[in-house]
Structure 1
């Protein structure tokens, strides 16, 4: 039996390890949300810098649209000097800088649960009525507006699920969300 609800938030993170955007609508293509994690700050050799090793990345402000982001560095100093990494610069990342699937989906219930971890970088936040346990999401289909997602896994360090895009389209905050159980089990 399917469970219905509403899309409450959209999160797009154009530059890996920096802040994101919270648009009221976005297009979701086969590779995920338009512009999501398509750029990264890299060193002179092109190696992607991660907040785990360069926490100052989280102090950068994102400006511009998701498909063409710009970074605002505190104090207006050059990016490489701010990070202490010679040659550091913003660059597009072929194939994107995400480490898992195209979409990170989380429910409000999962986000608010004790031990949820950091879900602040989830792409879609849905509120579902009578939602099943997260283990039952794997193998399910989640429809959000015209978009259809295949739930394929559970993150190790935070709440929610990872999904692949079956049917692309544009979603809007307030769209109907529906979780349809899979045929497993």
Structure 2
């Protein structure tokens, strides 16, 4: 019998890159990842995408995490809604973004030939790791939204923190048909510290990860066989 790593506790999709996302009960998964995940981004006049950091492809745009995005009625075929810091939908996302970010050169852009991803298609985080961080920082409100996983995996009692390291290089089945391969961990940046609704700014988050685990947190995966993922699905090693 395949070894069970845990069960899918929550599924997170982020329609607009670097904004807060939406928790969904299930999602189709294709080689790109959760269908509709980070399909849109905030793009500036130089073609860089809004992010929590500045790189060759990305532009740091403080304030994006104060917003959320969702697909109306869960329909990925529709343009996502952008929600203001109070959780209300905005009628004109681009106009709102220009006012909110105080930039006149930004617009909401759908992915075309340049990927919006700066990581691999899927990010999985174990509750054992999340619980350890909460214990290490009892004074800092923390939940998985700081780390933006696609799948929060409920691991068995007694599972050590950073168990995701033991998954790397392995293949896993999720639910009935989805198959993924764990490739590497994310190297975290200042985005973990940033404020978002219900989570205050705290530089202690990144410092703690740096000291305890060399800035690495989660398991990034590629999609071996597309399928569907549902809350409650078991996550099993397929190569045990």
Q: Specify the TM-score bucket, using the shorter chain as the normaliser.
A: 0.7 to 0.9
Query: Are residues 118 and 50 of structure 1, via their aligned partners in 2, closer, same or farther at CA, if it must alter by over 3 Å?
Result: farther
Query: Are residues 74 and 119 of structure 1, via their aligned partners in 2, closer, same or farther at CA, if it must alter by over 3 Å?
Result: closer
Query: Are residues 6 and 136 of structure 1, via their aligned partners in 2, closer, same or farther at CA, if it must alter by over 3 Å?
Result: same
Judge which range, 23-32 or 169-178, deviates more.
Answer: 169-178
**Equivalent residues, number:** 182
Deviation (angstroms), 1:93: 2.2
Deviation (angstroms), 1:85: 1.1
Deviation (angstroms), 1:97: 1.4
Q: TM-score, normalised by structure 1?
A: 0.84
8 Å CA contact 1:111–1:159 kept in 2: the answer is no
Higher helix proportion (structure 1 or 2)? 2
2:170 paired with 1:152: no
- For structure 1, the 5+ residue unaligned runs are none
Q: TM-score, normalised by structure 2?
A: 0.67
Q: Distance in 2 between matches of 1:127 and 1:79?
A: 35
8 Å CA contact 1:140–1:151 kept in 2: the answer is yes
8 Å CA contact 2:181–2:224 kept in 1: the answer is yes
Q: Distance in 1 between matches of 2:223 and 2:164?
A: 19
The residue correspondences of 1:119-138 to structure 2 (distance < 5 A) are 119-120=144-145, 121-129=148-156, 133-138=163-168
Q: Distance in 2 between matches of 1:178 and 1:61?
A: 32
Deviation (angstroms), 1:105: 0.8
Deviation (angstroms), 1:128: 2.9
Partner of residue 69, structure 2: 62
2:169 paired with 1:139: yes
Q: Distance in 1 between matches of 2:20 and 2:11?
A: 13
Cα root mean square deviation, aligned: 2.7
Secondary structure at the counterpart of residue 98 of structure 2 = helix
The residue correspondences of 1:1-12 to structure 2 (distance < 5 A) are 2-12=3-13
2:48 paired with 1:47: yes
- For structure 2, the 5+ residue unaligned runs are 54-59, 189-215
Secondary structure at the counterpart of residue 220 of structure 2 = strand
Q: Deviations over 1:66-114 (max 9, x none)?
A: 6331323469663212211113111012353111111001111122223
Among 58, 63, 82, the residue aligned to 1:71? 82
8 Å CA contact 2:8–2:231 kept in 1: the answer is yes
Query: Are residues 59 and 136 of structure 1, via their aligned partners in 2, closer, same or farther at CA, if it must alter by over 3 Å?
Result: closer
8 Å CA contact 2:165–2:219 kept in 1: the answer is no
